[in-house]
Amino acid sequence: MAAAMPLALLVLLLLGPGGWCLAEPPRDSLREELVITPLPSGDVAATFQFRTRWDSELQREGDTDHYFLRYAVLPREVVCTENLTPWKKLLPCSSKAGLSVLLKADRLFHTSYHSQAVHIRPVCRNARCTSISWELRQTLSVVFDAFITGQGKKDWSLFRMFSRTLTEPCPLASESRVYVDITTYNQDNETLEVHPPPTTTYQDVILGTRKTYAIYDLLDTAMINNSRNLNIQLKWKRPPENEAPPVPFLHAQRYVSGYGLQKGELSTLLYNTHPYRAFPVLLLDTVPWYLRLYVHTLTITSKGKENKPSYIHYQPAQDRLQPHLLEMLIQLPANSVTKVSIQFERALLKWTEYTPDPNHGFYVSPSVLSALVPSMVAAKPVDWEESPLFNSLFPVSDGSNYFVRLYTEPLLVNLPTPDFSMPYNVICLTCTVVAVCYGSFYNLLTRTFHIEEPRTGGLAKRLANLIRRARGVPPL
């Protein structure tokens, strides 16, 4: 079961035009797919991916200048249908046809995990990268919980998950497929049964393990015409036990330690559970300026020993202008927990800088971990255009590693907060009234008054004087 994680990260990644996609892509193409992964706990994960690509000549910049890489986080965003509606409008078929008919808000928000993203990037159209296309990729992942959505039952169907079934493909789509993970966990027999039986299957290495998927192609007319709709059903042959889910090779945890309102410590625990491979991790931290970091207290320990990062980039914060930026490349030893901790002091804000709910606390954005995680099974390099979209979520670099980017949980830190209650308001009000009264009284008492002769004539007189001065006659 996946832990609830923030949807909040709408990260716009502008990757440089790499030599990824060398084949000539069709113009304005749409590919959509849905991956259904039953989890060993009895929950089920569903991931939608929609990729639109168009060849219009948008503005073209030169080589990506790293000074123009931008990174911004809004850690406070909560999951809400307001996020979904504009996101759905970007789809060519909106929610009228194809896979997007399943995107019903009341079911999608009845889940235990929700993650939604938009990626825009330029893609090279040829090897020399003389022309580029733009790619808009939208992903939505949800985990349906057997306890909440399934009312304890662990057999799933599309109707049970989304309260809809698939009836027709999106007419604009060049590819519209549903993949169901039917990997057998046990050697002896199949654990899962899918209905209707799939026509084709697909095998690949995802996240370092070999997986088998059943494919349902919506463009295949036989698939829908048989029964007017497609309702894929999953039945466990043996009901899964409530066992702890398998632990991924790389995971992380972040927390604030200490108590009191003066000092604290930000700690990040990085777990490498790989039995024998060490691998490096790039850790990016942005910390708001009102937590004043003491960089000399930065300690990185793994297995009780100090772990020296091979690269550190630190950009100190400027009050009210920019946050701290800390980037480190850390080698994680095999089968270890690495603790990165740094102490901070909580700053006092100006009284107008507090949020309307200051006692809620202030958010600290998640750390970002980027790593090439070694995989157990060697993967062969694949053709990006031909393979399914979910394959490129975790791109394989050289067959033995796959790329993972993790976001830790955001943190909530309490700052020393004045008592914004009635006495405080009274003090503020009284001070304002006193200041205003005092100011005006003082002004009145210390000012000296002169009686000035009223000016007459105005513009006409001034013009006349100008002319008189030019003529050498004394002015009026």
- Nearest CB to other proteins, comparing residues 140 and 411: 411
Q: 85 vs 253, which CB is nearer to other proteins? A: 253
From candidates 361, 370, 400, 465, binder to other proteins by CB under 8 A? 361
Q: Nearest-CA neighbor of 398 among 373, 377, 381, 385?
A: 381
- Does position 255 interact with other proteins (CB under 8 A)? The reply is yes
Q: What is the spatial distance between Cα 303 and Cα 339, in angstroms, rounded to a whole number?
A: 9
Q: Does 351 bind other proteins (CB under 8 A)?
A: no
> Which positions from 98 to 117 touch other proteins by CB under 8 A, shown as an x/- string?
-----------xxxxxx---
Q: Is 252 in the site for other proteins (CB under 8 A)?
A: no
Stretch in the footprint of other proteins (CB under 8 A) among 4-12, 16-24, 48-56, 318-326: 4-12
∠ Cα 424 430 433 (to 5°): 140
For residue 182, the minimal CB distance to other proteins (Å) is 25
Q: Which one among 18, 19, 246, 258 touches other proteins, defined by CB under 8 A?
A: 258
Instruction: Indicate whether 358 belongs to the interface with other proteins (CB under 8 A).
Output: yes
Of 259 and 449, the one with the shorter C-beta distance to other proteins is 259
Instruction: Work out how close the CB of 271 gets to other proteins at its nearest, in angstroms, rounded to a whole number.
Output: 9
Task: Report in angstroms how near the CB of residue 427 gets to other proteins at its nearest.
Answer: 16
1 binding other proteins? (CB under 8 A): yes
- Residue (of 41, 34, 136) closest to 89 by Cα position: 136
Q: Is 267 in the site for other proteins (CB under 8 A)?
A: yes
**Among 218, 234, 235, which Cα is nearest to 226's?**
218
Does 242 sit near other proteins (CB under 8 A)? yes
- Going by their DSSP bridges, the two strands 411-413 and 305-306 should be labelled as unpaired
| Residue in the block written with tokens 């235990």 | 112
Q: Which residue, 144 or 213, is less far from other proteins as judged by CB?
A: 144
Does 357 participate in binding other proteins (rule CB under 8 A)?
yes
257 near other proteins, judged by CB under 8 A: yes
Task: Pick the piece of the chain touching other proteins (CB under 8 A) from 2-10, 62-70, 125-133, 423-431.
Answer: 2-10
Near other proteins by CB under 8 A, which window of 86-94, 225-233, 290-298, 354-362? 354-362
- Which C-beta is closer to other proteins: that of 47 or that of 52? 47
* 155: contact with other proteins by CB under 8 A: no
| 259 part of the interface to other proteins, by CB under 8 A | yes
* 448 lies in the binding site for other proteins (CB under 8 A): no
Report how far apart, in Å, the C-alpha atoms of 121 and of each of 20, 34, 118, 476 are.
Answer: 12, 21, 10, 74
Size of interface with other proteins, in residues (CB under 8 A): 46
Is 265 one of the binding residues for other proteins (CB under 8 A)? yes
| Interatomic CA distance for residues 273 and 374, integer angstroms | 11
Among 21, 35, 99, 146, the residue binding other proteins under the rule CB under 8 A is 146
**Ranges within 208-227 binding other proteins (CB under 8 A):** none
Note whether 305 binds other proteins by CB under 8 A.
no
7 or 124: CB nearest other proteins? 7
Q: Which residue in 81, 126, 253, 318 binds other proteins (CB under 8 A)? A: 253
Span from 215-223, 297-305, 407-415, 462-470 in contact with other proteins (CB under 8 A): 407-415
State which of residues 148, 348, 378, 476 lies at the interface with other proteins (CB under 8 A): 148
Distance between CA 183 and CA 192 in Å, rounded? 8
Verify binding: residue 79, other proteins, rule CB under 8 A.
yes
Q: Contact positions toward other proteins, by CB under 8 A?
A: 1, 3-8, 75, 78-79, 109-114, 145-148, 151, 242-244, 253, 255-259, 265, 267, 357-361, 363, 409-414, 417, 421
